[in-house]
């Protein structure tokens, strides 16, 4: 039965081996679910967040995986709207990674808020001024779009395909893909931007407050740019990782190189704008309200090195690696560039959430530190385990990589 | 209906009172009576051994601020910090569920716990760290629930709360005035619990729009200032001191510009 469900022409590990490989992930999932129960039953006192450190590991994680999950909408946009056909070989995998990232982020958010059952209030009567209301709308709608994009991949399963009505349904859904890709891209641009805008509008936090450009704070545009720059790199890294774990060739090298090139160009544009933004903020925006460079980077361990690390080591360097064809042709350089790019965006989200809250704004308040509790870590790992499990099943039973059969038959 | 219409209008154009407060740092001894009175008045959940200063629920946090000099030149001042009732409140604009409103009738920034879903975005937005989240289920030890103030609803776990200038007292005072056929409140009719409890009378509270009120006269004093005023949130809580080191340490604007425009 297991064999019959697998994609024709592909080989997968034995079922027993597959289950053994998944057991540790199910254990992590179980521990996370128990931590989730504790938080729901007894409250958020099971975390180390507090009245000032109101956001912690989960919000950081949400921002990071939503940025990295941007590969789903961006690859879809390139394939269906800009007709870059080479991305057909990774689009299914990208959609599933996007779905995992977004649904995981929403799961973490549900635990993070104090009264999750009231979250629908935002949809019913939102505050139009709030960036978080915009994020909630776009995230909810985009998760629905991703779910609809996931369905045709599931229906392509060897057994499900045998049901004629499913096949017709899949075919019809496929016709909507360019429209869905367009809607998905629009929603994604808005929520990626609004996540940055969420912090950029905080005039009470000079560390994160930025000037307004075309209605939105500059972080709105920087978050969009950084997400679409890191997204393709993340798709590349995950595809490579799956290829290593499964021991199969999944896509041709030119796909990796195309992803790298797009990532590199966008990252270079991002680094340019990020540098201008940082200089303007440090020299104009922040001093105007009485905050100097020392107020932002004078507290150990958050020295100016963190900005330089983000912009140069994890920004400019991977951008230069990825735009250079000679480097791109060598797989290890391509992967190094992609990894550094993703790490840079993850660091940017860390700085935006954690450093903002740890720095004092009141002249007599202290610099604060925060370390998550085991429950926070368990729920963070639970989302990762959930991702691994969903992806593993999808990889086993669904046609994620159309080039796989051809590449491995040679 | 009337209220909702006015919320949309510019707050400064209404003729309603705009309540504000001045805290005299030279008179404050840091005794904490205001915090206790506030907790009792507003049905704040009693602390448990698990809570700490960062997770506990007090709407008035007392900061002990030192001058940084070694003994014997060490000096300290107590700064009570609470919601500064900003006229341009950052918390109001960020709340996705409209759980924060600026009441045009009073100028008070209202937190509506029934609408709050506990995302704590307002915590991140507030530069004064004046917002408190209910990390625990509120529990009153047996018998203590009899001390609850019937004019103020206790809050449930998972929502945000903060100082509202004892809004329950304003409502009671308004009801009383209405029964007597008056629309306006007299200055002594509406007092906050912290103001009443302060043994050194360091807190002055009243209508900032009324040029004859004690508070509006004090606000014009050159020794009166707002904390983090340059952030542009337009707080309606002011602090006052004649000691130059206190002003330099507490008033970030002077501290950052290094201007000596203070007395004493």
Q: Is residue A54 part of a domain?
A: yes
The whole model's pTM is what?
A: 0.89
Banded pLDDT at A186 (limits 50, 70, 90) = confident
pLDDT over threshold 60, residue B7: no
> B2-257 has which CATH code?
3.30.70.20
What are the residues whose beta carbons fall under 8 Å from the beta carbon of A249, sequence distance 6 or more? A243, A404, A407, A408
Helices A131-155 & A177-200, crossing angle to 10 degrees? 150
A residues 355..394 contacting B (CB < 8 A) = 356-357, 361-365, 368
Domain span at residue A325? 49-370
Residue predicted with more confidence, B235 or B12: B235
Q: For A121, which of B65, B97, B156 is closest by C-beta distance?
A: B97
Could you tell me if A102 lies within 8 Å of chain B, comparing CB atoms? no
Q: Is residue A313 part of a domain?
A: yes
For residue range A261-282, list pLDDT tens digits in order. 999 999 999 999 999 999 999 9
Number of domains present in the structure of chain A: 1
A301 cis-preceded (ω within 30 degrees of 0): yes
Interface ipTM: 0.89
What is the DSSP code string of A218-272? HHHHHHHHHHHHHHHHHHHHHHHHHHHHHT---S-HHHHHHHHHHHHHHHHHHHH
- Torsion, Cα of A31, A344, A357, A359 (10° steps): 140
Q: Is residue A376 part of a domain?
A: no
pLDDT over threshold 60, residue B11: no
CA distance B111 to B161: 6
Q: Is residue A331 part of a domain?
A: yes
For residue range B104-159, list pLDDT tens digits in order. 989 999 999 999 999 999 999 999 999 999 999 999 999 988 889 999 999 999 99
What is the DSSP code string of A147-194? HHHHHHHHHTSTTGGGSHHHHHHHHHHHHTHHHHHHHHHHHHHHHHHH
CA distance B116 to B108: 17
Could you tell me if B258 lies within 8 Å of chain A, comparing CB atoms? no
Residue predicted with more confidence, B241 or A187: B241
Could you tell me if B234 lies within 8 Å of chain A, comparing CB atoms? no
Question: Can you state the percent helix, strand and coil of chain B, rounding each to 5?
Answer: 30, 15, 60
Q: Is residue A290 part of a domain?
A: yes
Which two tokens mark A244? 């290593």
Beta bridge partners of B61: B81
Q: For B124, which of A55, A362, A368 is closest by C-beta distance?
A: A55
Q: For A113, which of B50, B117, B250 is closest by C-beta distance?
A: B117
The number of C-alpha atoms within 13 Å of B186 and in the hemisphere containing its C-beta is 6
The CATH number of whichever domain residue A366 belongs to comes to 1.20.1630.10
A52 contacts in chain B (CB < 8 Å): 54, 123, 129
Mean pLDDT of chain A: 89
A134 cis-preceded (ω within 30 degrees of 0): no
Question: Which single residue is written with the structure tokens 């840091």?
Answer: B30
CA distance A76 to A178: 8
- Torsion, Cα of A48, A49, A52, A53 (10° steps): 100
Q: Is residue A180 part of a domain?
A: yes
For residue range A12-30, list pLDDT tens digits in order. 888 898 999 999 999 999 9
For residue range A376-398, list pLDDT tens digits in order. 999 999 999 999 999 999 998 88
Q: How far is A208 from chain B (nearest CA, A)?
A: 10
Q: How far is A28 from chain B (nearest CA, A)?
A: 26
């Amino acid at each position: 039965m297991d064999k019959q469900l697998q994609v024709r022409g592909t080989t997968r590990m034995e079922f027993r081996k597959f289950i053994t490989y998944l057991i540790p992930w199910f254990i992590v999932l179980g521990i996370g679910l128990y931590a989730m129960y504790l938080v729901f039953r007894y409250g958020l006192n099971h975390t180390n967040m507090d009245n000032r450190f109101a956001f912690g590991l989960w919000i950081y994680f949400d921002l990071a995986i939503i940025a990295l999950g941007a590969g789903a909408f961006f690859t879809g946009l390139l394939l269906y709207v800009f007709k870059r056909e080479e991305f057909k070989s990774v689009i299914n995998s990208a959609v599933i990674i996007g779905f995992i990232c977004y649904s995981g982020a929403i799961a973490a958010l549900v635990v993070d808020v104090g009264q999750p059952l009231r979250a629908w209030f935002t949809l019913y009567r939102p505050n139009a001024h709030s960036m978080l209301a915009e994020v909630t709308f776009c995230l909810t709608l985009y998760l629905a779009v991703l779910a609809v994009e996931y369905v045709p991949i599931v229906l392509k399963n060897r057994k499900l395909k045998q049901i004629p009505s499913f096949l017709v349904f899949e075919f019809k859904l496929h016709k909507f893909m360019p429209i869905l890709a367009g809607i998905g891209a629009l929603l994604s641009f808005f929520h990626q931007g609004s996540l940055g805008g969420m912090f950029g509008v905080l005039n009470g936090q000079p560390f994160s407050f930025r000037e307004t450009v075309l209605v939105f704070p500059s972080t709105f545009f920087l978050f969009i740019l950084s997400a679409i720059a890191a997204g393709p790199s993340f798709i590349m890294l995950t595809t490579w990782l799956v290829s290593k774990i499964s021991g199969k060739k999944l896509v041709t090298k030119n796909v990796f190189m195309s992803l790298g090139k797009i990532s590199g160009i966008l990252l270079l544009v991002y680094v340019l704008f990020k540098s201008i933004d940082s200089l303007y903020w440090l020299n104009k925006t922040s001093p105007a309200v009485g905050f100097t460079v020392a107020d932002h980077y004078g507290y150990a361990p958050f020295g100016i090195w963190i900005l330089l690390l983000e912009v140069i080591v994890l920004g400019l360097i991977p951008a230069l690696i990825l735009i250079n064809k000679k480097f791109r042709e060598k797989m290890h350089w391509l992967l190094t560039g992609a990894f550094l790019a993703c790490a840079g965006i993850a660091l940017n989200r860390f700085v935006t959430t954690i450093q903002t809250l740890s720095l004092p704004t009141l002249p007599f308040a202290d610099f604060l530190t925060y370390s998550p509790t085991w429950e926070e870590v368990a729920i963070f790992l639970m989302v990762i385990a959930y991702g691994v499990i969903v992806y593993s099943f999808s990889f086993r039973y669904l046609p994620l990589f159309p080039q796989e059969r051809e590449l491995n038959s040679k | 209906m009337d209220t909702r219409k006015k919320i949309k209008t510019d707050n400064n154009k209404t003729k309603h009172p705009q309540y504000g407060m001045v805290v005299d740092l030279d008179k404050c001894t840091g005794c904490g009576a205001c915090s206790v009175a506030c907790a009792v008045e507003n049905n704040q959940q009693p602390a448990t051994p698990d809570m700490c200063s960062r997770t506990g629920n007090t709407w008035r946090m007392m900061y002990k601020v030192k001058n940084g000099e070694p003994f014997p030149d060490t000096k300290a001042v107590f700064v009570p910090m609470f919601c500064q009732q900003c006229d341009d409140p950052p918390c109001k604009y960020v709340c996705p569920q409209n759980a924060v409103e600026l009441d045009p009738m009073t100028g008070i920034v209202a937190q509506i716990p029934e609408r709050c879903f506990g995302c704590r975005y307002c915590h991140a937005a507030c530069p004064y760290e004046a917002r408190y989240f209910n990390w625990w289920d509120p529990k009153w030890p047996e018998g203590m629930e009899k001390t609850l103030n019937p004019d103020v609803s206790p809050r449930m776990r998972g929502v945000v709360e903060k100082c509202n200038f004892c809004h329950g007292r304003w409502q009671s005072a308004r009801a009383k005035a209405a029964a007597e056929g008056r629309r306006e409140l007299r200055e002594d009719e509406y007092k906050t619990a912290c103001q009443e409890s302060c043994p050194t009378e360091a807190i002055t509270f009243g209508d900032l729009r009324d040029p004859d009120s004690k508070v509006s006269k004090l606000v014009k004093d050159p020794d009166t200032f707002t904390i983090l005023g340059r952030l542009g949130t337009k707080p309606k809580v002011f602090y006052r001191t004649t000691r130059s080191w206190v002003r330099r340490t507490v008033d970030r604007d002077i501290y950052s510009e290094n201007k000596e425009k203070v007395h004493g």
